[in-house]
Amino acid sequence: MSKILITKRVYPEAVDLLTRSFPVDYEATDAGLSTPQLIERARGCQAIVSQLTDKLGADVLAQLEGVKIIANVAVGYDNIDVPAATARGIMVTNTPGVLTETTADFAFTLLMAAARRIPEAHAFVHSGQWKTWLIDLLAGQDIHGATLGIFGFGRIGIAVARRARGFGMNILYCDAFPAAPEIESELGARLVSKDELLRSSDFVSLHVPLLPETKHLIGAAELALMKPTAVLINTARGPVVDEAALADALERRVIWSAGLDVFEQEPALHPKLLTLPNVVLAPHIASASIATRRRMSMMAAENAAAALSGQRPPNLLNPEILG
């Protein structure tokens, strides 16, 4: 009977779903498996329920003899070499859609926290420094009526734009493909060049996948184009931003502030970011509502179960392998 490896702790209902029909080797820890451990434990398994901390490059995939499906518990799948998986006949699935609204909520939370200096305000009150009302105490940037520039106008980018419209913001976007005319008119969104977006936006929010073309999409040159009052939000993937260049720009006040949920070498981050007051930091939790993370766990389990039952998994990323 087909066996499934779950590489790291997930919500229990996903494990229950799989153990009802298949033998499961469950690594129920927060540390998960090292690459050599994963390769070893995958022997004799036909499915792997993986997480974004599992780095499944071509070299690792070559050692996953007999594996038919990798079901990633994330919408992003830059941790898996999908073309290499396809070449080996391994299906790869992700968890799209279910985390769109939750991630957009969080991008907007970071935007507001960075604009209105919420972490600084919290620390100020906590440390007993609050002595009196002051005209410019922790004064920040207005959100209402400002211009929001969105890189990557897919599901999550559009969901962020919907929130922004509620604040009366103007929407610019940059994407390889124009949005449907009805989306543009619903959101008053305008497709612009990268430079125009950077020059004209008060807030810039990143919603692109990590691809060779999006690595360091924002670096020193791009930060230099932004307004000195601008706020940068990254809930996409860390390497989309050159973190050293951003830390430097924040220190020199090239831009006003940033809200970051993702980093180039998670869980490490550029040491300067930890010393700056004008950055809001979060540990890759944009999709982390209880309901959404539960649903993501279930979707991955459903994808793995479908593949092992001879059905097409609902969220198959490489359908070409089915012919």
Question: By the criterion CB under 6 A, which residues form the site for ligand DGY?
Answer: 74-76, 99, 287
Q: Which is nearer to ligand DGY, 119 or 209 (CB)?
A: 209
Q: Which is nearer to ligand DGY, 165 or 215 (CB)?
A: 215
Please give the C-alpha separations between residue 234 and each of 49, 153, 238, 241, 294, in angstroms, as whole numbers: 26, 14, 7, 8, 23
Closest residue to bound ligand DGY by CB: 76
Strands (E), 31-124: 47-50, 69-72, 91-93
* Nearest distance in Å: CB 287, ligand DGY: 3
- To the nearest whole angstrom, how small is the minimum distance from the Cβ of residue 200 to ligand DGY? 28
* Residue type for position 292: T
Q: What CA–CA distance (Å, rounded) separates 217 from 206?
A: 9
Residue placing its CB nearer to ligand DGY in the complex, 201 or 287 = 287
Please, which residues have CB within 8 angstroms of residue 32's CB and are 6 or more apart in sequence? 7, 8, 9, 51, 53, 54
Could you confirm whether 237 is annotated as catalytic?
Answer: yes
- State the minimum distance, in angstroms, from the CB of residue 95 to ligand DGY: 6
Q: Is 126 assigned a catalytic role? A: no
- By C-beta, is 97 or 188 nearer to ligand DGY? 97
Can you read off the two tokens belonging to residue 114?
């960075």
**253 in catalytic set:** no
The active-site residue out of 184, 196, 266, 294 is: 266
The runs of H, that is alpha helices, within 232-283 are 243-251
Q: Which two tokens stand for residue 108?
A: 């907007």
In the bound complex, what is the minimum distance in angstroms from residue 151's beta carbon to ligand DGY?
A: 16
> Is 229 buried (19+), middle (13-18) or exposed (0-12) by CB count in 10 A?
middle
Q: Which of 117, 163, 207, 237 is catalytic?
A: 237
For the annotated catalytic residues, the residue numbers are 237, 266, 284
